């Protein structure tokens, strides 16, 4: 740790200790007071205050459900079978040649195969997916926390959003402007339930649901959950992408922040 960082870090620890005490009074001490949990919170110079806030505030978590609540038929929506030659070739080979590129405003650009992502620490969550069209389904998602990849890559100071670039064109246009993309801010990017999912209901993610990898941003509507991920980039602004509103559907009139 750089010496100049110490005072603010210590100040934060004092504040966090106070809220751990408040949690204990409320009868929720088991997790917040366990030494393991605290060291997860307080180590790692790359963890931002945002991450720590998210972990300390259980109310900011999306509701998780028991396995018995999983929908027997999870509807597939939007693109369900991308028809580009590149995607077809990757799918034909079981995505063995696919790689997720991580770049943009990061210190250490990286590239991951599906096997490499599966070897990283995983998180599973059973959540309700709410589509703006008015339907909901509950599914189990397993993947790597986006925070893990972003921490490994190291965000540069001017990074403000994470951009997801997908393999599919939902709208066929001559200039390629119908390619699906999404952006989220860093609070959602580092949220513990924001995962890059490679499995659904304990099976490899089906093509209809975004194989080989899709993002889950559980506190927002379904259209934020970009499927068919090809790359993620840290960016400062999205005004120069698409039509400038930050996502395929925001460009077509929906809200960029689709909180539920």
Ligand X SMILES: Nc1nc2c(c(=O)[nH]1)N[C@H]1C(S)=C(S)[C@@H](COP(=O)(O)O)O[C@H]1N2
The residue within the footprint of Mo ion, chosen from 98, 161, 181, 223 (CB under 5 A), is 223
Listed residue (247, 199, 232) closest to 95, CA to CA: 199
The CB-nearest residue to Mo ion is 131
Residue 240, burial from CB neighbour count under 10 angstroms (0-12, 13-18, 19+): exposed
Q: How far apart are CB 195 and ligand X at their closest, in Å? A: 14
The HSE-up count of residue 67 (CA atoms within 13 Å, CB side) is 4
- DSSP-derived pairing of the beta strands 99-104 and 229-235: parallel
What is the rounded distance in angstroms from the CA atom of residue 48 to the CA atom of residue 154?
Answer: 11
For residue 185, the SS3 value is strand
104 vs 210, which CB is nearer to ligand X?
Answer: 210
200 vs 234, which CB is nearer to ligand X?
Answer: 200
Answer yes or no whether residue 222 interacts with Mo ion by CB under 5 A.
yes
Q: How far is CA 192 from CA 32, 57, 127, 144, 196, in A?
A: 15, 11, 13, 10, 11
153 vs 211, which CB is nearer to Mo ion?
Answer: 211
Q: How far apart are CB 170 and Mo ion at their closest, in Å? A: 11
75 vs 160, which CB is nearer to ligand X?
Answer: 75
| Chain position carrying tokens 């106070």 | 18
The CB-nearest residue to ligand X is 78
Q: How far apart are CB 219 and ligand X at their closest, in Å? A: 15
Q: Please choose which of Mo ion, ligand X, none residue 161 contacts, taking the beta carbon within 5 to 8 angstroms, the exact cut-off set by kind.
A: none
Q: How far apart are CB 24 and ligand X at their closest, in Å? A: 40
What is the rounded distance in angstroms from the CA atom of residue 52 to the CA atom of residue 74?
Answer: 33
80 vs 151, which CB is nearer to ligand X?
Answer: 80
Q: Please choose which of Mo ion, ligand X, none residue 75 contacts, taking the beta carbon within 5 to 8 angstroms, the exact cut-off set by kind.
A: ligand X
In Å, how far from its chain's centre is CA 38? 23
Percent helix, strand, coil in the chain, to 5, is 30, 25, 45
Quick note: the x/- pattern for Mo ion over 105-144, rule CB under 5 A, is --------------------------x-------------
- Residue 252 contacts by C-beta under 8 Å, 6 or more apart in sequence? none
148 vs 165, which CB is nearer to ligand X?
Answer: 165
Q: How far apart are CB 260 and ligand X at their closest, in Å? A: 12
Q: How far apart are CB 88 and ligand X at their closest, in Å? A: 15
Which residues here bind ligand X, judged by CB under 6 A?
75-79, 131, 166, 168, 170, 180, 208-209, 222-223, 225-228
Q: Using CB under 5 A, list all residues that contact Mo ion.
A: 131, 222-223
């Amino acid at each position: 740790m750089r010496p100049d960082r110490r005072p603010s870090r210590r100040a934060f620890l004092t504040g966090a200790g106070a809220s751990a005490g408040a949690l204990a009074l409320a009868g929720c001490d088991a997790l917040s007071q366990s030494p393991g949990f605290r060291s997860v919170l307080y180590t790692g110079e790359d963890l931002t205050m945002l991450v720590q806030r998210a972990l300390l505030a259980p109310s900011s978590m999306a509701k998780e459900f028991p396995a018995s609540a999983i929908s027997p038929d999870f509807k597939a929506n939007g693109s369900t079978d991308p028809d580009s030659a590149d995607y077809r070739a990757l799918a034909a080979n079981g995505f063995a040649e696919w790689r997720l590129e991580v770049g943009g405003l990061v210190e250490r650009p990286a590239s991951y195969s599906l096997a490499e992502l599966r070897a990283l620490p995983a998180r599973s969550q059973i959540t309700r997916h709410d589509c703006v069209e008015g339907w909901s389904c509950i599914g189990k998602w397993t993947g790597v926390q986006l925070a893990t990849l972003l921490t490994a890559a190291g965000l540069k100071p001017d990074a403000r959003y994470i951009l997801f670039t997908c393999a599919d064109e939902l709208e066929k246009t001559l200039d390629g402007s119908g390619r699906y993309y999404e952006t989220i801010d860093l609070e959602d990017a580092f949220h513990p339930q924001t995962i890059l999912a490679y499995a659904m209901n304990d099976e490899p993610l089906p093509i209809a649901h975004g194989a080989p990898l899709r993002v889950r941003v559980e506190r927002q509507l379904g259209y934020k959950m970009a499927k068919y991920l090809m790359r993620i980039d840290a960016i400062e602004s999205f005004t120069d992408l698409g039509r400038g509103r930050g996502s395929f559907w925001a460009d077509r009139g929906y809200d960029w922040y689709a909180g539920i």
